[in-house]
Structure 1
Amino acid sequence: MSTVVEKAAGEKAARGSSHLGLALVVIACAQLMIVLDATIVNIALPHIQTDLGFSDSGRQWVVTAYALSLGSLLLLGGRLGDLVGRRRMFVLGVMIFALASLLGGIAPSPMLLIAARILQGAGAALASPAALALINTTFPAGKPRNRAMAVYAAMSGAGAAIGLILGGALTEADWRWTFFINVPIGLFAAMLAPRVLVESEGNDGTLDLPGAVTGTVGLFGLVYGLSHAAQQGASWGDFLTLVPLIGGVIVLGLFVIAESRAKHPLLPLRILTDRNRAVSLFTMLLVGAGMFALFFFLGLYIQQVLGYSPMKSGIAFLPFSAGMIASAGVASNLVSRVDPRWISGVGGILTTIALWGFTHLTVDSGYASHLLPWILVMSFGMGLLFIPLTLTATARIDKNDSGAAASALNTAQQIGGAVGIAALSTVFSHAATGKSRDLVAMVTRQAAAHGQAMPQTAAGKAAAMKQFQAQFGGQIQTYASTQAFWVAAAMVLVGAIATLLLLSVKHEELATDNASGAPVS
């Protein structure tokens, strides 16, 4: 009799393990699709810009529109998952994402492409927090959840680099395939999800509309103001820079007031008042800024300065994916034995060192000698950062708050990326303008010293500018990129110091749940 019981128990455990494995495959595929789309167009940007006629200042919106939409709506997406069911929101979000990708692939104009990117972000905002919350409530605390989080975090980090690799391969055929590739992946995840993911129970709360409106509008104002400041000829005193920035800060203040008074807040302030969770979110925001800056500016540098083809540019980031996956595995094993502050702190320091290394790039830099070492250092640092921060941001959370905590974590990363690209594009733009001014003055002095007159006709000036860009364009872009990397390094360093000094979660705490937040099978 006991043999029969043991056999039945073994079969049940095997089925449960298989079920969890398939569930993780679906969640990981969806998360990979969502994250890689933040960078897959980076390699295609020069081709998109030429084909659709984007301006130099407008091209960043192909990246920023997605990150802004995703980051602004994540809190709403997480709350909707809590209210009506996380699996339902996961499937809906993935389907919207696939449809938006199809629309992006056939977009004939810049405005329609930006609209498709915004719709992609909206779909991702429904699916991503549901995915993370389902992991947190499905896998038992301890090693099973740590391994699941390692896979999720690896997709979140390595997915950005995989996006660059896929972007390079697909752009060789046609940049539109960087969008079309999402359609079959999204349909696969949407069809399999109802079979392997268990629906969460909805609750009887209500949607916090004031919080949804003020949170979305406030975040949009901040990023729009920073993005406008990055445009050619814009300044910090410009009307379209100051008004959105000031308005964004004011509206976010109203968001905090609305959340403190709401019966069912979009983002319960108790999530932010927990010091460990707040430190995790703050660091993830800064790390998101540093990571997106790496892929945005380094992707352009590799193609436009070093002259790599899209395919070769994508392959150049392959070591990042490998290093990220390897370090994620190391971190998932360490986190059960070492306090997360030390793992994340070391990861932050390594990431800072790598970004500092990129500040030394020149127009003559070689891949093996000047790029590859820092790409590997940064990939390993990122892996050590993502795993512990993902766990500490969602550890010991009440099951009713798991969706909000998951969406807060994703919001921090995505808004960090959106704000990071906008802010660092501002640094890039102003550094490029200053460098151009210095080089023009130098060329003018040299011409005067040799008795050469500067061209006076429109055609002559245009020819002179074309020659100037051919001679100094790479130097200007490289200098401006290194200045952006300096700021990115400083941002990540602040996050690393905050983690080391303020994060106090013990590794033993990551192996247990609150009574109210016990995992479900």
Structure 2
Amino acid sequence: MSSAQSVPTGIQFGSAAGRWVVAATVLGSGMAQLDATVVNVALPAIGRDLGAQASGLQLVVSAYSVTLAALILLSGSLGDRVGRKRVFVAGVVWFTVASALCAMAPTVEMLVAARALQGVGGALLTPGSLAIIQATFIPADRGKAIGAWSALGGVAAAIGPLLGGYLVQAVSWRAIFLINVPLGGLVVWLALRHVPESRDPSAAGRLDYAGATSATVGLAGATYAMVEGPNRGWTSPVVVVAAVLGTFAIVAFVVIERRVAHPMLPLDIFSSRQFTSANVVTFVVYTALGGVFFLLVVVLQNALGYSPIAAGAASLPVTAIMLALSSASGALAQRIGPRLPLTVGPLLVAAGMVLMTRIGPGSAYVTTVLPAVIVFGLGLAATVAPVTAATLAAADERHAGVASGVNNAVARTGGLLAVALLPPIAGLTGDAFLSPTALTAGFHTAMLISAGLAAAGGVVAFVSISNDLLTETPTRAPEHQHFSCALAEVPAHERVSRE
């Protein structure tokens, strides 16, 4: 049954109801994050089984990224309009069905198509999970909730290589997709049973079809160009056309949103200096992070001789640190404001990257890799939850979905730019990935560039982020915030590694 009555207090983080909401949103977004990393480990087995060439395997990776990035902004807007839980559940169902299709794919072409469908599901559920967190919890507990969402979601991404390696070796590459079927069923049950509905009741009128189309085409074109540019060459006709079309569509999107009566993305959301600054910090820092997430596992395997599973396990301290500290980091930012965490966090990330320049052939894990990973993890824990919370807090609560979509799109664009541009800038082209010496030298250059970007993110945060919004504790929820419940009772957010 549904209800339109206002809920003035929301849900507390430490309550049973709060734990159920966190569980549903973390498991849902975790499926998408897990799938983004688990597939890379399975690519060699997929290639052998389906007879796929390197170009086909690249599409297995990029098809997911392109559709996810293209639709993530539209998904956030749809959640605000028709219900965040509704869009989230639809995304989980879509993602689960697409995962089953991936597991049954008889050819690489069918697998690529199913992966593109998976990206659609991922786009629907990812911003919805975070928007649910923002709209459901009381203001004082949102920092903790977002911290838990960040930490537990990071666990899913980190265990991807380990889980993927085990399933590929013990069962089949198809098992990495089949595992999503029971997990998706559990998430749907949890969401329908325990997650309250929320939406923006002021979103009236017909859907902004022109804006939705231009945003989707723009993000798809730009993402495709960034993903395929390093493979096909930046002067390739298909890459140039995609880049031009994407740029034109994004410009058209801005013009459309300024003129329509009910825009998909209200541009006045960017009138908040805090919102814009937090997204700038997100873009700069996530571009830096993309270099580490892409290159570290390759260096550990090709330069230090680690197995895929060992390379994935090498970064487990980051997972442990995120799990232990992210919620506390979000709560700290809630108390003192985000400026200090977002200044210190990126600087620690940069320090960890500088320490990674000591990694090379013959390096011992305990004395070389582990210290860098620990410092990097501390910086990550201090950054991720506060920057996410600062972004969402700066937007009107009724725009929680679109604000989450914007922040997710910004973060993913930064990561894609790192994968596309950082290797060639650092000299990692051609056979460099196969030469331990050349790979190590390029990795060191890439880490210094990434460290500079991360440090720049800290500087941007220091000069532009305000402490005001996160430290405010409203006495009541906005009048336009409404929840409804589906129950009678009120229920107690790479590329192919060269072997």
2:94 alignment partner AA: I
**Cα displacement (A) at 1:95:** 0.7
Q: 1:416 to 1:62 in 2, by over 3 A?
A: farther
User: What is the aligned partner in structure 2 of residue 212 from structure 1?
Assistant: 212
- Cα distance between partner residues in 1 of 2:482 and 2:63: 36
- The answer to whether the aligner puts 1:378 opposite 2:341 as a matched pair is no
- Cα distance between partner residues in 2 of 1:15 and 1:127: 21
User: What is the aligned partner in structure 1 of residue 247 from structure 2?
Assistant: 249
- The answer to whether the aligner puts 1:189 opposite 2:152 as a matched pair is no
User: What is the aligned partner in structure 1 of residue 335 from structure 2?
Assistant: 337
User: What is the aligned partner in structure 2 of residue 240 from structure 1?
Assistant: 238
- Cα distance between partner residues in 2 of 1:280 and 1:146: 15
Deviations 1:188-239 (A, max 9, x none): 01122111112225643322222222222222222322333312xx544443
- Cα distance between partner residues in 1 of 2:53 and 2:423: 14
- Cα distance between partner residues in 2 of 1:59 and 1:292: 20
The match for 1:504 among 466, 473, 477 is 466
Compare 407-416 and 45-54 and name the one that shifted more: 45-54
User: What is the aligned partner in structure 1 of residue 494 from structure 2?
Assistant: none
User: What is the aligned partner in structure 2 of residue 152 from structure 1?
Assistant: 149
User: What is the aligned partner in structure 2 of residue 44 from structure 1?
Assistant: 42
User: What is the aligned partner in structure 1 of residue 436 from structure 2?
Assistant: 474
1:295-306 pair list within 5 angstroms:
295-306=293-304
- Cα distance between partner residues in 2 of 1:213 and 1:269: 17
Residue segments in structure 2 that go unaligned for 5+ positions in a row: 1-10, 484-489, 491-499
8 Å contact kept, 2:39–2:164: yes
**Cα displacement (A) at 1:397:** 3.3
- Cα distance between partner residues in 2 of 1:146 and 1:236: 41
Deviations 1:492-513 (A, max 9, x none): 3332221121111336535337
User: What is the aligned partner in structure 2 of residue 227 from structure 1?
Assistant: 227
Q: 1:60 to 1:375 in 2, by over 3 A?
A: farther
1:309-388 pair list within 5 angstroms:
309-388=307-386
Deviations 1:235-284 (A, max 9, x none): 44443333332332222111111111122222111122311111111222
Q: 1:253 to 1:494 in 2, by over 3 A?
A: farther
User: What is the aligned partner in structure 1 of residue 456 from structure 2?
Assistant: 494
The match for 1:515 among 471, 475, 478 is 478
RMSD: 2.9
SS of residue in 2 equivalent to 1:245: helix
- Cα distance between partner residues in 1 of 2:418 and 2:12: 45
- The answer to whether the aligner puts 1:172 opposite 2:186 as a matched pair is no
User: What is the aligned partner in structure 2 of residue 20 from structure 1?
Assistant: 18
- Cα distance between partner residues in 2 of 1:65 and 1:483: 29
Deviations 1:424-464 (A, max 9, x none): 35446x5334x76xxxxxxxxxxxxxxxxxxxxxxxxxxxx
**Cα displacement (A) at 1:38:** 1.8
User: What is the aligned partner in structure 1 of residue 274 from structure 2?
Assistant: 276
User: What is the aligned partner in structure 1 of residue 115 from structure 2?
Assistant: 117
8 Å contact kept, 2:272–2:394: no
8 Å contact kept, 2:204–2:262: no
8 Å contact kept, 1:68–1:418: no
**Cα displacement (A) at 1:50:** 4.3
- Cα distance between partner residues in 2 of 1:287 and 1:315: 24
Q: 1:52 to 1:426 in 2, by over 3 A?
A: farther
Q: 1:15 to 1:353 in 2, by over 3 A?
A: closer
**Cα displacement (A) at 1:105:** 2.2
- Cα distance between partner residues in 2 of 1:132 and 1:90: 10
- Cα distance between partner residues in 1 of 2:59 and 2:418: 13
User: What is the aligned partner in structure 2 of residue 7 from structure 1?
Assistant: none
- Cα distance between partner residues in 1 of 2:189 and 2:238: 44
Compare 382-391 and 399-408 and name the one that shifted more: 399-408
Q: 1:489 to 1:508 in 2, by over 3 A?
A: closer
- Cα distance between partner residues in 2 of 1:139 and 1:14: 6
Q: 1:114 to 1:500 in 2, by over 3 A?
A: farther
Indicate the structure (1 or 2) with the bigger Cα radius of gyration. Answer: 1
Aligned residues: 471
User: What is the aligned partner in structure 2 of residue 10 from structure 1?
Assistant: none
SS of residue in 1 equivalent to 2:63: helix
Q: 1:322 to 1:205 in 2, by over 3 A?
A: farther
8 Å contact kept, 2:279–2:407: yes
**Cα displacement (A) at 1:146:** 2.0
User: What is the aligned partner in structure 2 of residue 454 from structure 1?
Assistant: none
- What is the TM-score of this pair, normalised by structure 1? 0.82
SS of residue in 2 equivalent to 1:200: strand
- Cα distance between partner residues in 1 of 2:349 and 2:339: 15
8 Å contact kept, 2:227–2:416: no
Q: 1:224 to 1:120 in 2, by over 3 A?
A: same
SS of residue in 2 equivalent to 1:361: coil
- Cα distance between partner residues in 2 of 1:47 and 1:426: 27
1:403-418 pair list within 5 angstroms:
403-418=401-416
Structure with more relative contact order (C-alpha pairs < 8 Å, separation 6 or more) = 2
- Cα distance between partner residues in 2 of 1:296 and 1:108: 29
User: What is the aligned partner in structure 2 of residue 431 from structure 1?
Assistant: 428
Q: 1:177 to 1:261 in 2, by over 3 A?
A: same
Compare 149-158 and 59-68 and name the one that shifted more: 59-68
Deviations 1:448-491 (A, max 9, x none): xxxxxxxxxxxxxxxxxxxxx9xx63333333444443443333
1:160 alignment partner AA: A
1:120-135 pair list within 5 angstroms:
120-135=118-133
- Cα distance between partner residues in 1 of 2:448 and 2:230: 17
Q: 1:313 to 1:380 in 2, by over 3 A?
A: same
**Cα displacement (A) at 1:375:** 1.5
- Cα distance between partner residues in 2 of 1:518 and 1:125: 24
1:403 alignment partner AA: G
Compare 496-505 and 419-428 and name the one that shifted more: 419-428
User: What is the aligned partner in structure 2 of residue 465 from structure 1?
Assistant: none
Compare 481-490 and 189-198 and name the one that shifted more: 481-490
Compare 327-336 and 501-510 and name the one that shifted more: 501-510
- Cα distance between partner residues in 1 of 2:348 and 2:319: 16
**Cα displacement (A) at 1:294:** 2.1
8 Å contact kept, 1:42–1:63: yes
Q: What fraction of aligned residue pairs are identical, expressed as a percent?
A: 34
- Cα distance between partner residues in 2 of 1:32 and 1:72: 20
